[in-house]
Amino acid sequence: MKPPPFDYAVASDLNEAFALLEADEDAKVIAGGQSLIPLLSLRFASPTLLVDISRIRELRAIRCVGETLSIGALARHSDIETDAAVATYAPLLAAAATWVAHPQIRNRGTFGGAIAHSDSAAEFPAVLLAMGATIVTRSSAGERRTAARDFFGSHFQTSLQHGELVTAVEVPGGDAGTRWGFSEFARRKGDYAIGGAAVHARVDASGTCVAASAGLIAAGPGPTPADDLDLELVGRRVTEDDARRAVDRATQGLTPESNVHGSSEFRRAVIGESLRRALHQAFGLPTVDFRRTSA
């Protein structure tokens, strides 16, 4: 199918973007276009005007601000994959980026676009939930900072208002006590996940877990935090039994949708196994690599 007709305007700075959006309540932002263009072509969206923000250079920066890593909304997925500061201070994000779609899409798709799109099966929202990130948004009324947990809603909804843009995301920079793990299952590398999990944790000098959280991929109608996972991990030198109990606690109430990839039960098992593997990676427990390298 072809997209419905729309007008198109390029914003050269944030104020121009705000003015264009405020003048038309049916206007929509376009950044990398990797989610929006397919939606238009399927006629799931029919904006009157597309406001292209991809040339607002100030939104592409990735920089350290104190103990925090600030990632601009227009950083491409491929920037997250290759940026030295991301690799050093937020390696979980860099690892997750390699699972997002295919290289061609990662070269166009933007970090802010993936966050605003808020797909339950997307990697970055789950990672931001695990890391306790803050989403920075701006409109002509000023700037807001929202915890990832409060930003993402269900069925592609977020706390964004019309005329408001994601401008950056702040993630806590890791240190020697930071631990992370990421695991995902998809039919083919680059496909959307059938299930997955991102784990972020801290241990003290004795190796005892002092904080742990996780985001689950394709687990519900929106990006899904793994509630109460920490109750089985914090205060312990985490063992395989602790990880197993944490998985049971985090997945017992999940009811992912049945779809062409599997029943709800199957998909809950995939998410649980992904979470177990991510916990094993994070806490240095034995891992099994199930990927076949030869027949």
Ligand X SMILES: Cc1cc2nc3c(=O)[nH]c(=O)nc-3n(C[C@H](O)[C@H](O)[C@H](O)COP(=O)(O)OP(=O)(O)OC[C@H]3O[C@@H](n4cnc5c(N)ncnc54)[C@H](O)[C@@H]3O)c2cc1C
Residue with smaller CB distance to ligand X, 14 or 85: 14
Look at strands 7-10 and 49-52 and give their pairing: parallel
Of 34, 139, 224, 251, the residue at the interface with ligand X (CB under 6 A) is 34
Of 11, 32, 202, 215, the residue at the interface with ligand X (CB under 6 A) is 32
Task: Based on the shown chain and the rule CB under 6 A, indicate whether residue 173 belongs to the binding site for ligand X.
Answer: no
Positions 104 through 163 that interact with ligand X (CB under 6 A): 105, 109-110, 112-114, 116-117, 119, 122-123, 160
Of 11, 35, 92, 279, the residue at the interface with ligand X (CB under 6 A) is 35
CA 107 to chain centre: 17
Binding-residue total with ligand X (CB under 6 A): 28
Helix 264-282 vs helix 240-251: crossing angle, to nearest 10: 140
Residue with smaller CB distance to ligand X, 33 or 153: 33
Residue with smaller CB distance to ligand X, 122 or 246: 122
Token pair listed for 230: 């920490």
Local structure of residue 258 (DSSP, 8 states): P
Residues 6+ apart with CB under 8 A from 290: none
Task: Based on the shown chain and the rule CB under 6 A, indicate whether residue 251 belongs to the binding site for ligand X.
Answer: no
DSSP class per residue in 39-88 = HHHTTS---SEEEE-TT-GGGG-EEEETTEEEEETT-BHHHHHH-HHHHH
Residue nearest ligand X (C-beta atom): 109
Q: Name the site residues for ligand X (rule: CB under 6 A).
A: 28-36, 38, 73, 100-101, 105, 109-110, 112-114, 116-117, 119, 122-123, 160, 165-166, 192
